[in-house]
Amino acid sequence: MERRPHVVAIPFPAQGHVGPLLKLSRQVAHHGIRVTFVNTESVHARMLEASGDDDRRWDGIEMVTIPDGMEEVKDPRDIEKVAAMRAKVMSRHFEELLRKMNSSRDERVACIVADATLGWAFEVAEKMGIKRALFWPAAVPGLVLSLSLPHLVEAGVIDDCGFAPSDTAIQFSPKLPAVKAVDFVWRCPGDQRMQEIVFRHAMGVTKPVRISNWLLCNSFYELDPITCGLIPELLPVGPLTSTDCLGNFWAEDRTCLNWLDLQPCKSVIYVAFGSLAAFGQNQFEELALGLELSGHPFLWVVRSGFTDVDKIKYPDGFLERVSDRAKIVSWVPQEKVLAHPSVSCFVTHCGWNSTMEGISNGVPFLCWPCFADQFYNRSYICDVLRVGLDLKAEEAEIISRHKIQAQLEQLLSDVQIKENAERLRGMARRSLSEGGSSSANIQHFVEQLKRCSE
């Protein structure tokens, strides 16, 4: 029997990275490639628990786990120590795993597909003579910026801790809006150490890119041909979607789908801030009251740990007052929610996965970025793609209920934004259909894999 090429995929261990790489892995597997997906033990345990031990969803992907050494890190908030420990422990286990696989003719690895942040994974594979595909899970302009950093630092535009004057604007193409200093991914106001760590990580992408044989990303060419053109070897393979919301760390509350079925068409405001963002209690209450003031039905994801108090506390009487038009749950099958005809708009933190999922479903955005790439994604959504409005928070400002209400009203009455969102939805769908750009890029990747493992 013909041996299928064997690909080993390894994500950064966080929801926003595991989900899209798992979706990509499944697509690759559907093209006849054998895929082994390497999770950390703790992430895998979470995914199993969230799915009620139902591993059918992984559908054709082989799952293996490796330790991440986290039990040895005293303070899990110390991201420098966390990253160093992960690199030490995971790279050793990853190398052992690849060696074991390579010692058997049937298991021999044709290529690794690794998250761009896992520089060590590329080095291990290079050392072993295994081909390497880099997966960039965020927006393409972020990759362009990361790759330009050595040059920008050398030119003195950005200093070697990631600081630049506040009026700095980096123009990659005359046809693109400039990347402003306030939108830098590594910007951590008030936390210089964190900023330096994140900045070094952003700079660190250059080497894995240089030693990769393929660059894959979760976007589609037509979304941003100018930026994609700046990295000619890039293969956009998105939007990476799955109707079964693959790879969740939290159990989905599916009752929200029945609730959505009962709501009028395009009436429901969907509110979710991804897997990491958290609100202070005051801001949380203003958001609750803003949603109430809007007068519209709303579906709101309030994860455990979403506020800075131990137990989620709503404004007095809020839950009773909104009970006939609100559904509040701890985790939803987001792609299904965004595809539901009752949803009118998406109040989002602008995580890139949420952005791609909103775009694929033609849903207008109300942007409320919290950290990292989310500020740049906000500018992208509002100023480049023109499919959303910004809440325009000044630093440390609490966004008031009235502002939330006013921006929601404006968004819901903006015909142009709805048209733009609908147009992008069509483009996203076409890119995935047969002969579409992302579908052709996956095909190209798979064919090259098959050829190089003959």
Least distance CB 219 / ligand UDX (angstroms): 11
Least distance CB 109 / ligand UDX (angstroms): 26
Phi-psi domain of 69 (left: phi exceeds 0; alpha: psi -120 through 50; beta: other): left
Least distance CB 370 / ligand UDX (angstroms): 8
Least distance CB 359 / ligand UDX (angstroms): 12
Least distance CB 137 / ligand UDX (angstroms): 6
Q: Residue 446 carries which side chain, given as an amino acid letter?
A: V
Is residue 16 within 8 Å of 274, Cβ to Cβ?
A: yes
Least distance CB 447 / ligand UDX (angstroms): 28
Nearer to ligand UDX, 16 or 141 (CB): 16
Pull the structure tokens for residue 85.
Answer: 């420990």
- Edge to edge, the sheet with strand 298-301 lists 326-329, 298-301, 268-272, 343-348, 365-367, 388-390
Least distance CB 355 / ligand UDX (angstroms): 7
Least distance CB 332 / ligand UDX (angstroms): 4
Pull the structure tokens for residue 335.
Answer: 């792609």
Nearer to ligand UDX, 39 or 448 (CB): 39
Nearer to ligand UDX, 68 or 115 (CB): 115
Nearer to ligand UDX, 275 or 438 (CB): 275
Nearer to ligand UDX, 221 or 352 (CB): 352
Nearer to ligand UDX, 172 or 371 (CB): 371
Nearer to ligand UDX, 5 or 297 (CB): 297
Greatest alpha-carbon pair distance for the chain in Å reads: 67
Phi, psi of 394 (to 5 degrees): -80, 160
**Within a 13 Å sphere around the CA of 444, how many CA atoms are in the beta-carbon half?**
17
Nearer to ligand UDX, 301 or 442 (CB): 301
Least distance CB 299 / ligand UDX (angstroms): 10
> Pick from 449, 425, 429, 450: which is nearest to 439 by CA?
429
Nearer to ligand UDX, 15 or 441 (CB): 15
Pull the structure tokens for residue 420.
Answer: 């733009």
Which residues of the shown chain bind ligand UDX in the complex (CB under 6 A)? 14-17, 19, 137-138, 245, 248, 272, 274-277, 301, 331-332, 334-335, 351-354, 357, 372-374
Nearer to ligand UDX, 111 or 302 (CB): 302
Least distance CB 17 / ligand UDX (angstroms): 6
